[in-house]
Amino acid sequence: MKKLFTLSLLLLLINFLRAQEVNETYIKAHYDKIEEYIPMRDGTKLFTSIYVPKNNSTKYPILLNRTPYTVAPYGIDKYKKSLGNFDEMAIASYIFVYQDVRGKWMSEGTFEDIRPTRTKENKHKIDESTDTYDTIDWLIKNVKNNNGKVGMYGISYPGFYSTVSLIGSHPALKAVSPQAPVTDWFIGDDFHHGGALFLIDAFRFMYTFDAPRPAPITNEQGPKGFNLPSKDWYKFFLDNPTLSELKTKYLNHTVKFWDNLAKHSTLDTFWNNRTITQHLNAVKPAVMVVGGLFDAEDTYGAFETYKQIEQRNTKNNNILVMGPWFHGGWVRTKGDSFGDIKFNQETSTYYQENFELPFFEYYLKGKGNFDPAEANIFITGANKWHQFSQWPPKEAKMTSLYLNEDKKLTEKANDQQNKYIEYTSDPKKPIPSQDRIFTNRTREYMIADQRFAANRPDVMVFETEVLTQDLTMVGPIQADLYVSMTGTDADFIVKVIDVYPDTSSAISPLNTETVMQNYQMLVRGEILRGKFRNSFSLPEPFKPNEITNVKVNLPDVAHTFKKGHKIMVQVQHSWFPLADRNPNQFMDIYKAKAEDYIKNSHRIYFDKSAASKINFSIL
């Protein structure tokens, strides 16, 4: 009863806070701003903005956000319009600290993308964990009215800096929330998936983000974005068909990261040194990993960060929260819908009220009784929050659906031999990643209707019969394929799709122009560059016309395929311009010429001895 009473009081407080309007005027009235250059152990100084509550009758914990995206506005008299991830955090009162990381914006030093963590072999004096430690140490000793406790949070790249803080953490650091954290830029996040370059994101983002910064600059002085000449990225990349050509024509302002992509086209020490999860040992602060099931950038990162902390720290207080959100959607929208899909509740509001604010209030102020489940997952389709004692759920059971030559998904494997489907892929006519003009890469592609792709002859479509009962799919998915080809390499894109019924009972869309009958909602899609099928470090060519096993691992899902719907799997070999094209030849794609891109004839096999299937877990 006492726990329920305390929770009720906290919810009443949150509702009260929501009734207040937060803007720049509010922040100026309630906070004093300080700007400091905080010295690091090597003498480098990092620009830091500090917002301290004016009410000095009590002591406050510190909430630290380290970012490469600028702490603007700069100037002692210029204030942010809000503080924290959402308005209620500013009203709840913390000492909010924002810091330009080393080498970015107004901070001194040299920036390095996902800077390697110090090890016995890598004996650098500093890394991002030492910068975090030194920053916290200075704040605790120099900012008045702090209570000696620090929390960290951040979304995307700032999520990476939150994760880094867990390594050799400062004793004052008590609570950390990596949110959609950048985690592995070769296998599953942002600029590589399955070893394939995510072309549009890498080019568009790094064009400005990794442009040279010879001296500290404000946001007004920052680099300008790329001016897309054709207003269509699909056309632009076909008109500039090679990665080397993109470098020569558009990236000669020295984008260091693009050069590193070309130099390190396999999982070598460059990437291994930047894989933060291998250093997440002896984690002491409480951790709440947050992510979106439909996050176009870092779905992999959220799941992998949580899993690695769990595996390496059996006694650490580490929980997972995953909702039906795009990148940062848990604090940037109400979370009641995404694209054409409705969730029938404000999932982001629920998250803010029940997780993020209570997490920091409890561990930094000692308020409330924050006692959530180990894994707190919103299952789409059923549109319900579920609590699990572990992730993936221990009660989930592994099952398989087999592909067959009739383009069906069945529970039983084929008992015959010499069964296959044959088709051709042409990298000069790549399959679009979405049915639209690509003025930008949309976040909605993660759940977009796939009917446009299903009609192409180079997309293989397999589906179940109409489901007679709900089927809830949870955890990772693996496509276990047996294939052959005439070339020596190919990409494999596998998509798992929820096919809506061909009846008026299909859920009405937010956009009334969208026909939901037979809608093919993408639940999860992923790519594997075929030459990495056995190792991301040691690529291997395919032997032409030889049957080969290829396993494509898809990020975790939490989705209910409702009674009356169907499960569909699509297999294809280009996903453009989301991912760069494979020449269908075993080679260094960064050195490929336009004439190197050739057609490839494929077979997918359904033999008794080579049964292609999809493996997943169900509740």
pLDDT tens-digit map of 154-185: 999 999 999 999 999 999 999 999 999 999 99
Hey, what long-range contacts does 13-19 have (CB within 8 A, 24 or more apart)?
14/88, 14/352, 14/353, 14/357, 17/87, 17/88, 17/91, 17/92, 18/87, 18/88
Instruction: State whether residue 318 is helix, strand or coil.
Output: strand
The set of residues, in sequence order, having a beta carbon less than 8 Å from that of 257 and lying 6+ positions away, is: 113, 206, 209, 210
Q: Global pTM? A: 0.94
CA pair distance 422, 120, nearest whole angstrom: 52
The pLDDT tens digits of the residues spanning 185-236 come to 999 999 999 999 999 999 999 999 988 888 999 988 988 889 998 899 999 9
Q: Which residue has the tokens 């794609």?
A: 589
CATH topology of domain 24-184+274-388: Rossmann fold (3.40.50)
Beta bridge partners of 430: none
At 195, give phi and psi (nearest 5°).
85, -5
Beta bridge partners of 421: 604
Average pLDDT over every residue of 303-312:
97
Strands (E) across 417-519 are located at: 420-425, 460-463, 471-485, 491-499
CA pair distance 207, 257, nearest whole angstrom: 9
Q: State the amino acid at position 614 in one-letter form.
A: I
Task: State residue 600's pLDDT score.
Answer: 97
pLDDT confidence tier of residue 6, bands split at 50, 70 and 90 = low
Q: Does residue 10 carry a pLDDT above 60?
A: no
Q: Which residue has the tokens 């990381």?
A: 101
Token duo for residue 345:
């509740």
CA pair distance 224, 214, nearest whole angstrom: 16
Task: State residue 12's pLDDT score.
Answer: 56
Helix (H) or strand (E) holding 25: helix 24-30
CB 291 within 8 A of CB 179: yes
Q: Does residue 569 carry a pLDDT above 80?
A: yes
Q: Which residue has the tokens 């210029």?
A: 78
CA pair distance 52, 73, nearest whole angstrom: 16
CA distances from 45 to 104, 219, 516 (A): 11, 18, 55
The pLDDT tens digits of the residues spanning 444-494 come to 999 999 999 999 999 999 999 999 999 999 999 999 999 999 999 999 999
**pLDDT above 90 coverage of the chain, percent:** 86
Query: By mean pLDDT, which of 120-124, 402-406, 485-489, 535-539 is the weakest?
Result: 120-124
* CATH number, domain 397-618, options 1.10.1660.10, 3.30.465.10, 2.60.120.260, 3.40.50.720: 2.60.120.260
CA pair distance 597, 585, nearest whole angstrom: 8
The set of residues, in sequence order, having a beta carbon less than 8 Å from that of 184 and lying 6+ positions away, is: 271, 275, 277, 300, 301, 304
Q: Which residue has the tokens 């830029």?
A: 185
Task: State residue 120's pLDDT score.
Answer: 72
Q: Which of 612, 464, 504 is nearest to 552 (CA)?
A: 612
Q: Which residue has the tokens 């929390």?
A: 151
- How wide is the angle at C-alpha 93 spanned by C-alphas 88 and 98, nearest 5°? 90
Q: Does residue 11 carry a pLDDT above 90?
A: no
The pLDDT tens digits of the residues spanning 342-371 come to 999 999 999 999 999 999 999 999 999 999
Token duo for residue 318:
């580490």
CB 271 within 8 A of CB 264: yes
Q: Does residue 617 carry a pLDDT above 90?
A: yes
Q: Does residue 3 carry a pLDDT above 60?
A: no
Q: Does residue 519 carry a pLDDT above 80?
A: yes
CA pair distance 230, 247, nearest whole angstrom: 18
Q: How big, in percent rounded to 5, are the helix, strand and coil portions of the chain?
A: 25, 30, 45
Task: State residue 121's pLDDT score.
Answer: 67
Strands (E) across 103-238 are located at: 146-155, 173-179, 192-193, 196-197
Average pLDDT over every residue of 89-96:
98
Task: State residue 371's pLDDT score.
Answer: 94
CB 95 within 8 A of CB 62: yes
Task: State residue 409's pLDDT score.
Answer: 97
At 340, give phi and psi (nearest 5°).
-85, -5
Ranges of each domain in the chain: 24-184+274-388, 397-618
Task: State residue 9's pLDDT score.
Answer: 56
CA pair distance 604, 481, nearest whole angstrom: 7
Class of residue 39 by CB neighbours under 10 A (exposed 0-12, middle 13-18, buried 19+): middle
Task: State residue 503's pLDDT score.
Answer: 83
Q: Does residue 526 carry a pLDDT above 80?
A: yes
Q: Does residue 7 carry a pLDDT above 60?
A: no
Task: State residue 316's pLDDT score.
Answer: 86
Task: State residue 58's pLDDT score.
Answer: 96
Q: State the amino acid at position 355 in one-letter form.
A: F
- How wide is the angle at C-alpha 471 spanned by C-alphas 558 and 524, nearest 5°? 40
The region that residue 513 occupies, defined by phi over 0 for left and psi between -120 and 50 for alpha, beta otherwise, is alpha
CA pair distance 288, 180, nearest whole angstrom: 11
Average of per-residue pLDDT values in the chain: 94
The set of residues, in sequence order, having a beta carbon less than 8 Å from that of 606 and lying 6+ positions away, is: 402, 403, 404, 405, 414, 419, 420, 421, 612
